[in-house]
Amino acid sequence: MLNRRLLLRAAAALPLLSTLPTRAAESPDAVVDAFVRDTGFQGVVMLGQAGKADYVRTVGYADIEARVPAKADTPYAIASISKWLTTVTVLKLVERGLLDLDAPLTQALPDYRADTGAKLTLRRLLCNASGLPNLFIAEAKADPTLLQTDLTTTQALARFGQGDLVFEPGARFDYHPVNWIVVIAAVERVTGLPFQAAVRSITLDPLDLRATGATEAMLEGAAPSYRTVAPPERWRNDRRPYLAASGGYASTAPDLMRAAHRVFDTDFLTVESRRQLTHVEVPMEDYALGGRVRRLTIQGRTVLAGWETGRTAGYRLVLGHRLDGQRTVVLMNNTALSQKTMDQFADALLGAEPRA
């Protein structure tokens, strides 16, 4: 367990991360020990291959006040890793001929406003380059109770998802949840199912992700989120169903490790779907569809990695998977560490050289 002094050092972590071991020959324990020392990390560290863990380390508490230790199967809210699960679901629907990444959005949503719907595509929504304005965050800032207000998908789409385009689709990157509200509407329209039921039947159950979901019970059962640890101050993470696609799921490290292997390495997706999933659409952001693809330098050669990250309230997560199938890293934290330091931690665990 971590003491108070170590936890308080988290804010000063970034300058110290140059001390992290990065050579592939270094033991995972040495990398974890250095990161814990320098940042006060607590949470779950898992390394493995072919969907199975061969190294697990838990540090500190999942629930600080109740002194409940972090465990390998502790659920955490996974924030934007939800986008990756959503994208996998969309690609399965593309395989079935129910959706088309490059067709006008009005093909999937005939009632969507015709002018912008003719320009928008699912591809642009899934890579956060749609041009839609972020009407949700504007309303949330004006009305803090919005996140406690239930809206149907239809209501959320009408309220947030049909604004005038602020740039031509594909012209630039604009990372916000409105893109994903529209995706939810498209999935529900073509499947005839509520979004979470569609993701469950199309993706989660076939991948055997039993501890993954966006129900209220699953989110409430996740490790709480913290703004500070000494003294502990909880950080609310309200998520309504219409935000599930962009950041509303919870999961565990074993589920995420299994998902990465089966999505990236097996025939769960077709070859073409895997190509689409890992094709970088926004090079300046390394952003593909629903997540990033990073270039790591490992033992002198370039290795591509699917790089899914989650950051909301105090949750900080990394799911990094070498696309050659050689290694997967899962990191789960709920005490508001820097996301950049979490990425560096994952790099070091994979034996990658520090990025400039």
Read out DSSP for 78-114? -TTHHHHHHHHHHHHHHHTTS--TTS-GGGT-TTS-H
- Apex CA 188: angle with CA 185 and CA 193, to 5°? 155
Known catalytic residues? 80
Element spanning 313, H or E: none
Element spanning 197, H or E: helix 195-199
Query: Residues 236, 56: contact at Cβ < 8 Å?
Result: no
Residue 72: name the closest of 213, 257, 209 by CA. 257
For the chain, what percentages of helix, strand and coil (3-state, to nearest 5) are there? 40, 20, 40
Which pair of tokens denotes residue 53? 């863990």
**Residue carrying structure tokens 């039993």:** 210
Q: How far is CA 160 from the centre of its chain?
A: 22
Biggest CA-to-CA distance, the chain:
58
Residue 303: name the closest of 274, 336, 332, 326 by CA. 326
Query: Residues 305, 312: contact at Cβ < 8 Å?
Result: no
**Alpha-carbon torsion, ordered 351, 353, 354, 356, to 10 deg:** -150
Element spanning 251, H or E: strand 250-251
Distance CA 166, CA 173 (A): 12
Query: Residues 316, 310: contact at Cβ < 8 Å?
Result: yes
Distance CA 321, CA 299 (A): 17
Distance CA 354, CA 356 (A): 7
The amino acid that residue 263 corresponds to is V
